[in-house]
Chains A and B, each alone.
Chain A
Amino acid sequence: MIKQPLTGRLHTPLLLTLAVILVVVVPLLNAFGYISNFTLGNWGKYLCYGILAISIDLLWGYTGLLCLGQALFFTLGGYMMGMHLMRMIGGDGVPTFLSMVGRREWPSFFIPFSSFPFALLMIVFVPGLLAYVFGYLAFRSRIKGVYFSILTQALTYGAALLFFRNELLMGGNNGFTDFRMLLGYSLREDSTKRGLYIVTALLLVLVVAGCKWLTQSRFGLIQRAIRDSENRVLFSGYATANFKLFIFVISAVIASFAGALFVPQVGIINPSEMDTSKSLEAVVWVALGGRGTIIGPVIGAISVNALKSWASVGATADFWPLMLGGAFVLVVLFMPKGIIGLPAQIQGWIAKSRRAKSPEEPSPLSTPPEAIDP
C-alpha cells in the first residue's frame, strides 16, 4: 500500500545488477588487470562521496532539512579512523604531529584507539552524539529552513577552526597522514586497496537498501509529510522534533562511515575536509543527481567527481568551479528532478510534441499514470 508500484518494479533488478557490478565485477576486473589501481582508488573515493550524498538527501530531499554540516560528520568519521591508523603506525616515540608540539607521549584519549572495535564504536558514537545534542537543541527550539542551514554551516566552520589548532593534538593543519596498517594489512598492498574498495561498495549497497526500506516505511511517509507540511504533522499528533532528530543522527552516522572509509583510501585526513565549500559541493551532487531519490545522489556524486578528476588537470583546471556552478544552474533551471529524472522528462517532451502533432488521437504516453483511476 505504501509504495510506488511503477518505479519499484522497474528499479529492483536494475539496482541488483548495479550492486553486483560494483561489488564483484569491478574488483575482479582490477585483480586481472583490466582496471588500473589508480582508477579503482578513484572509484573507492567516489563511492564514499556517494554515501555522503545519500546522507544529505535523507535530510534535504526527504525531510526538507538542508544540512550544510554533513562534511563535518564525514570528517569526524575520518578523524576517528585516522586516530586508529596513527596508533597502528608503530615504531618508537610519537608521530611528528605530537613531537612538533612538544609531546613525548601519546595523549591519553589516543590510547584506546589502538583497538579497532573501539575506533568503530567512536565512528558511530562521536558524530552521532554531536548530531544528537545539536539536533536536540535546534529542533526543540523549532529552528527551521534557512536558519537551520546557517547553523549547521556555522557548526562546521567552528569545528574546522578547532581542528586547525595544534593544541587540540589532532595534527592541526596537517591532520593525519602516512598511514601504514589496517587490521594487520599493509595499506600499500594492492589487495588491501581492493579490499577497502569492496567494503566501500558493500557499505554503499547496504546504505541504499537500508534507506530504500526506511523511506518506504511509515517513517518515510512521516518524513515527507514533515518536509511538505510540518505543522499538519504536529496537528496529527506526531512529535516532529523526535522524527527529525532520529533522521539527523542516522544521517550523521552514515556520513561518518563514509568518511571513515575515505581516509584509508586517500591516505590523509585534515581540517580542509570540513571546509564550507565541501558541504556545499556535496549539496550540488544531490541536486544534480536528483533529490528525493536514493540513487540520484549517488549518480550525482560519482558523475561530478569523475568529471572533476578529468577536468581539474591541465588546461581546464581553472574552469572547474565555473563548470560545476554552470551545471548546477542548468540543472536547477531545466532539470528540477536532476539526472535521474531525465528519462521521465524526455518522455514527457516526446509525448508533448506528439500530442501537438496529432491532437486527434492522444498517445497513451500523454496520460500521466497518476491520472488513471484504478
Chain B
Amino acid sequence: MSQKPFLLAAEGLNKSFDGFKAINDLNFYLDEGELRTVIGPNGAGKTTFLDLITGRTQPDVGTLLWDDAKHDLLKLNEYEIYRLGIGRKFQTPTVYNDHTVTENLILSLAGSRGIWHSLFGKVTSLQRDRIAEILTTIKLSKHSNRKAGELAHGQKQWLEIGMLLAQEARLLLVDEPAAGMTDEETYRTGELLLSLAGKHTIVVIEHDMTFVRQISQGRKVTVLHQGHVLCEGPVDKVQADERVIEVYLGRKSKAA
C-alpha cells in the first residue's frame, strides 16, 4: 500500500466468467477530486470493473477499499455502497420510464432511504429548488412533467447524469455518457462533466476519443486491456504509447 490516502484503491482484482478473464490482476488508484477517464477496446473489462466497484459482481480475488481504506467495498451490497456516495450511470440509459422526469430526480435525491421517510417525508422547498437547478443544468426544465420513457435517447442520458447530481455522490461512475449522442450533445456532456470535476470525483468510461481529449486535458487517462491496466498518464502520452496504439488506437482510425 502506498502512503498517500486514496479515495478508491483496487488491488489484485481478478474476475473470470466461465474461464474468460474479464478482470486480470487489476490495480487502480483514485485520488479525491480527480476526473479520470478510462478507455480500452471492447471487452477490456471496463464495465465489469464498474460492476465490481458498485457491488453488482463479486471478484474472485482482490481488494477494493474506499475512502483511505475506511471501508471494504467487497463486504457491502449495492445499496450500502451507494450510501457511501458512489453513484453510477449505466451504459444504456437506465431511468424510470414510467415516472416523470421530476419523479426520477425525487427518487434520486440525497437523504434517507428508509420506508418511514418514503411514507411521511415531504419534498422540501430546498429540495424543490435543487431539482429545478438540476433540471436547468441538464436542460430538461421544459420536460419536467413528461414521462422519462418519452424522452429522446440523449435526454435520457442527461437525466441519468442529473440523477447522480441529485444524489450528491462523492464518486460518479459514468459509463459511456456520450453513447448515442450527437456531436453537439457530446460536447455539452463534456462541459457538464468538466464543470462537476473538483466538486465530485469522477470516473468516465468512454470510447469516443474526441470526447476523451475534451475532458482529459491535463488529467490522467487509464487504458485497460484484457482486464489489466495497460498504461496510465496524460492523454497525449497515452495516445503516443506504442502498446496503446497497437491494442486500441491503432485499430481505430477515428482516434488517430
Contacts and interface: CB of A to CB of B under 8 A. Distances in A.
B115 A232 contact: no
Contact of B113 (A2, A229, A238): A238
Interface of A: 1-2, 214, 217-219, 221-222, 224-225, 228-229, 231-240, 242-243, 246, 370-371, 373-374
B21 interface: no
A370 B147 CA distance: 8
Contacts of A374: 142, 144-145
B150 A222 contact: no
A2 B144 CA distance: 12
A368 to B, nearest CB: 10
Contacts of A234: 77-79, 82
A236 B83 contact: no
Contacts of B145: 374
B108 interface: yes
Query: By DSSP majority rule, is chain A's interface helix, strand, loop, or mixed?
Result: helix
A229 B79 contact: no
Interface of B: 54, 56, 77-79, 82-83, 87-88, 90, 94-99, 102-103, 106-108, 113, 115, 117-121, 123, 128, 142-147, 150, 163, 167
A246 B88 contact: no
Nearest to B94: A232
Given A229-B94, A233-B107, A373-B146, 5 more contacts: A1-B102, A2-B103, A221-B103, A228-B99, A232-B96
A370 B115 contact: no
Contact of B121 (A218, A238, A239, A370): A218
B79 A222 contact: no
Given A237-B167, A373-B143, A228 B118 contact: no
B185 to A, nearest CB: 20
B78 A2 contact: no
B128 to A, nearest CB: 8
Contacts of B146: 370, 373
A1 B54 contact: no
A367 to B, nearest CB: 13
13 contacts: A1-B102, A218-B119, A221-B107, A222-B107, A225-B107, A232-B95, A235-B82, A235-B87, A235-B88, A236-B108, A237-B82, A243-B118, A370-B150
A237 B115 contact: no
Contacts of B115: 219, 242-243, 246
A228 B97 contact: yes
A236 B106 contact: no
Given A2-B106, A222-B118, A236 B99 contact: no
Nearest to A292: B98
B211 to A, nearest CB: 24
Contacts of A217: 118-120
B240 to A, nearest CB: 37
B125 to A, nearest CB: 11
Contacts of A222: 107, 118
A247 to B, nearest CB: 9
A222 B113 CA distance: 10
Contacts of A219: 115, 118-119
Contacts of B150: 370-371
A295 to B, nearest CB: 19
B106 A221 contact: yes
A218 B106 contact: yes
Contacts of A224: 96, 98-99
B83 to A, nearest CB: 5
A269 B50 CA distance: 55
B79 A237 contact: yes
Contacts of A243: 115, 118
A219 B121 CA distance: 10
In this complex, the member of A2, A217, A224, A237 whose beta carbon has the largest number of chain B beta carbons within 10 angstroms is A237
B202 to A, nearest CB: 17
